[in-house]
Structure 1
Amino acid sequence: MSTKFAAISEGRIIQTNTIHVSDYAQHISNRYRIKSKTAEVILRESDYTLG
């Protein structure tokens, strides 16, 4: 089973235009050179972060 199919069936698809980026997510995105909205979603979905 693909992760995309599983996410859709669980209702876990996130519209990127509804994501509000926190200051910490912005910091993480700059530090690791990833998109700020991606960093925000990672922080929301993580139980804890390292680094």
Structure 2
Amino acid sequence: MSEQQYHPELHVYEEERNDLIDVAVGFGGFFGVLFLIALVATIVSLLMK
């Protein structure tokens, strides 16, 4: 193996990264999952009364 592949400054990204969009999508997805869990828990608690 070539020793050059372990140098991070020589690494070429396959695609451009937009950190703000990555964080926004991650936050939105996590919020959506938690909102879905809360919605299901609310419906179940109302049906059990």
Q: Which has the larger radius of gyration?
A: 2
Larger helix proportion, structure 1 or 2?
A: 2
Higher relative contact order (CA 8 A, sep 6+): 1
**Quick check: TM above 0.5?**
no
TM-score category (smaller protein): under 0.3
Q: Using structure 2 for the length normalisation, give the TM-score.
A: 0.25
Q: Using structure 1 for the length normalisation, give the TM-score.
A: 0.24
